[in-house]
Structure 1
Amino acid sequence: MANGLDDVVAAETVLSDVDGLGGRLTIRGHSLPELAGRWNYPQVVRLLLDGFFEDLPDDAELATRLGEARVEVFDRLLPSLTLLAPLDVYSAMRAGMALLPDGETLTDALRLIAAPAVLTPALLRLRRGEQPVAPDDKAGHAVDMLRMLRGSVPSPATAKALDTYLVTVCDHGLNASTFATRVVASTLAGLTSSVLAGLGALKGPLHGGAPGPVIEMLDAIEAHGDAAGWLRDEIAHGRRIMGFGHRIYRVRDPRADVLKAVVRQLGGEGETGRRLAFAEEVEQTALEVLRIAKPQRSLQTNVEFYTALVLEAAGFPPQAFSNVFAAGRVAGWIAHAREQQTTGRLIRPQSRYVGPVTDLVA
């Protein structure tokens, strides 16, 4: 039996391929470097959904409809936001999305894709004592998400950075949240039910809940003053070094390189440049410390490390990093849900009972 279903093929997919030995990510026939920074997020949404909705429009019309979906989600959920705001921002976003119709149409899909981009800024503003900012259906998706967060139009460089991030995390094979989504979709539940399963899995610290602690780690190392010493102490106490190691990749996570380039484009002078330079020093120190402490394992930089720096530079607090991850991944979940429903069957694996057996004597 494969513990944790390692190496078990549970689905055939046209959506993405993760080459853990080669360090490559392919999304619908395109390599990650081919997409990230070159395609915008609505274009990648259309790429993922192609073939799963009969009424899928062209790129321009899809971007228009996604903008309209942001407005609809805001208008529909605004009355509920004050009740949701006291929850942690991820749980509040998930609860808000649970209020959306549980249908199977492209309109249902676009509402779900729009929802994290709308709810996250609105909830963060309410938690700061500020009023939510309504969407602009004519703005680009990443631009609008940042505009709703800040109350002003972001710089082109910052909007481009967020857009590239959303593309980078849009899909990644049969990870825990995608598998959870496909399991629920296989029962023929609606898209909202399927996406909520993905959101539940993504919340865990071994999956989408990991980028936030990278910031805590960097802050702790900076305050300590000795990166190598701090890292060795963490390892000695059996604690995980956040941002390093991956269940699939045995070499460097290709998404880390894409996002490192994004941060460099945002860097230069000022706090972002200083933060990047410090993070790069910590990265190199961590790789060397891990190589010596765990020579039997390949613990390379993963997507979490530079995700934290991109989202921090964009203005999101660490507690909302998983929300932004969900804002990018939701399109992939929906594509997988539709693929499972159209080409798969009910997912029903077997279990092996290893508990006690009692023979009852009459």
Structure 2
Amino acid sequence: MRDQQPDHPADSERRLTTREAAELLGVKPETVYAYVSRGQLDSRRTPGSRGSTFDADEVRALARRNRRDGGTTTAATPATGQELTVRTRLTLIESDRYYYRGVDAVELAARHTYEEVAEWLWTGRMRPGTVFRAPAASVSVARRAVDALPEHAGPADRLRVAAIAAAVADPLRFGLAEDAVLGTARVLIPTLVAALPPVLRDGDDQDPIAHQLWTRLSGQDADEPSLRALDTALSLLADHDLAASTLAVRVAASARAHAYAAVSAGLGVIEGPLHGAAGGLAHRMLLEVLDLGSAAPVVAEELRAGRRIPGLGHRLYPGEDPRARALFALLEDIPRAAPALAAARDVQATAARHTPLHANVDLALAVLTASSGMAPTAAETIFAVARTAGWIAHALEEYGERPLRMRPSGLYSGPRPPRALPE
């Protein structure tokens, strides 16, 4: 973080010197500056001095986190277990709830469309009735690129290719000013959706994102409760602090990659089974439960194989995942979702005899996709489209930070030099 001048003389009286901060943290003074470079502490220059000062409350909070996690992390000693932390004003997760810019995210998703929630994340302002539109030229280029992919290409493949094609079609993509990035975001999201092949018929590109996405994922007619559930799912998944894909986006933005490239970095990470693909695993599990008529043999097989049960538990929510709770409530109003809902409850109840874990959003998303005639990969598509809004928000934040700050130091563990040249 950049050094700042104290706001007024009294402010510096409440601050710690580097030596005092180091003593409180139990580290060397140079380690304090490693915390600053990694965004874990803010420093301010003392007028008339070469030293820096630190907020006492912030230092104490970091010290508590270090004690709680059993160690400290510096650029030189990353192996002690403490995770990288990055300052963000976007999403707060605490006490089994989460907030977008201080507003309860579940309540926001219940009252606003995905596009409106995206605008709130990007700007901190609400734009009622906003609809994203993609230029015909951008859609045409992205569709041609996606159509050239082999049939077995997955959702992340299609979206990643669409993002790259849209970037190539935009000669102004290198602009990183806020207005330029916002313009890119409002075009990129509908372009990604429009580039996906429709299941039965193409949607109207004037429709909201959830309506357009439905026609690319389901061959069933969309009723209002189903569209509302999909739109809410997009809003609930728009951001979730520094997930792995979001960190990749911030690294790209830190290197001043343009917005399309930053989103491509996120799309490259979500394919893992522990991230964006988790909903597809839960979808397949529910289909198997429905086919067998009971969750017991399915859960037993997962446990026997030493695998975690898809759709259960979340490291950030000791209790119930608020996203799952909100989505399940909407799915209860959709009659065709009843069998998949019952299967999900059976999975949770059966697994609870082994380990009491709550359902997470992947299981709720699987109920939505399985009951709507969508393919198992649909959950990954929904996740990726939704999270693009959060990725753009994090890229915007990172563009305002010092370039290349997302550059940790490696802890070399190879043989010490000098060594003889290999034969």
* Residue of structure 1 in register with 2:87 after alignment: 12
Aligned match for 1:113, one of 183, 189, 197:
189
* Residue of structure 1 in register with 2:160 after alignment: 94
Please tell me whether the aligned partners of residues 36 and 168 of structure 1 are also in contact (alpha carbons under 8 angstroms): yes
- Aligned counterparts of 1:115 and 1:163: Cα–Cα separation in 2: 17
Aligned match for 1:340, one of 373, 398, 401:
398
- Aligned counterparts of 2:326 and 2:378: Cα–Cα separation in 1: 21
SS at the partner of 1:18? strand
- Aligned counterparts of 1:301 and 1:150: Cα–Cα separation in 2: 24
Shift, 1:182, TM fit:
0.3
- Aligned counterparts of 2:326 and 2:162: Cα–Cα separation in 1: 31
* Residue of structure 1 in register with 2:117 after alignment: 44
Shift, 1:150, TM fit:
5.5
Spell out, residue by residue over 1:286-324, the C-alpha distance to the aligned partner (whole angstroms, 9 max, x if none).
223224xxxxxxx33211111111123344311232111
Aligned match for 1:352, one of 379, 393, 411:
411
Spell out, residue by residue over 1:167-198, the C-alpha distance to the aligned partner (whole angstroms, 9 max, x if none).
01000001101000000000111001100110
Query: TM-score, normalized by length of structure 1?
Result: 0.83
* Residue of structure 1 in register with 2:254 after alignment: 186
Structure 1 unaligned blocks of 5 or more: 292-298
* Residue of structure 2 in register with 1:312 after alignment: 370
Q: Percent identity over the alignment?
A: 31
Structure 2 unaligned blocks of 5 or more: 1-71, 168-172
- Aligned counterparts of 1:160 and 1:175: Cα–Cα separation in 2: 25
- Aligned counterparts of 2:319 and 2:355: Cα–Cα separation in 1: 14
Aligned match for 1:30, one of 96, 103, 106:
103
Please identify, of 181-190 and 99-108, the stretch whose mean Cα deviation from structure 2 is larger.
99-108
* Residue of structure 1 in register with 2:240 after alignment: 172
* Residue of structure 2 in register with 1:163 after alignment: 231
Shift, 1:242, TM fit:
0.6
* Residue of structure 2 in register with 1:210 after alignment: 278
Residues 250-289 of structure 1 mapped to structure 2, 5 A cutoff: 250-267=318-335, 271-289=336-354
* Residue of structure 2 in register with 1:141 after alignment: 209
- Aligned counterparts of 1:320 and 1:266: Cα–Cα separation in 2: 18
* Amino acid aligned to 1:17: L
Query: TM-score, normalized by length of structure 2?
Result: 0.72
Structure 1 residues 221 and 140, CA gap change in structure 2 (3 angstroms): closer
Shift, 1:24, TM fit:
1.1
Shift, 1:100, TM fit:
1.4
Q: Does 1:300 align with 2:369?
A: no
Shift, 1:159, TM fit:
1.1
Please tell me whether the aligned partners of residues 287 and 370 of structure 2 are also in contact (alpha carbons under 8 angstroms): no
* Amino acid aligned to 2:102: G
For the aligned residues, what is the CA RMSD? 2.7
Please tell me whether the aligned partners of residues 311 and 359 of structure 2 are also in contact (alpha carbons under 8 angstroms): yes
* Amino acid aligned to 1:23: D
Specify the structure having the higher radius of gyration (Cα): 2
* Amino acid aligned to 1:42: E
* Amino acid aligned to 1:30: V
- Aligned counterparts of 1:276 and 1:70: Cα–Cα separation in 2: 39
Structure showing the higher helix proportion among its residues: 1
SS at the partner of 1:166? helix
Shift, 1:206, TM fit:
0.8
* Residue of structure 1 in register with 2:149 after alignment: 84
Please tell me whether the aligned partners of residues 23 and 253 of structure 1 are also in contact (alpha carbons under 8 angstroms): yes
* Amino acid aligned to 1:308: A
Please identify, of 7-16 and 76-85, the stretch whose mean Cα deviation from structure 2 is larger.
76-85
Shift, 1:259, TM fit:
1.3
- Aligned counterparts of 1:257 and 1:70: Cα–Cα separation in 2: 37
Please tell me whether the aligned partners of residues 185 and 194 of structure 1 are also in contact (alpha carbons under 8 angstroms): yes
* Amino acid aligned to 1:351: G
- Aligned counterparts of 1:354 and 1:111: Cα–Cα separation in 2: 46
Shift, 1:358, TM fit:
5.1
SS at the partner of 1:107? helix
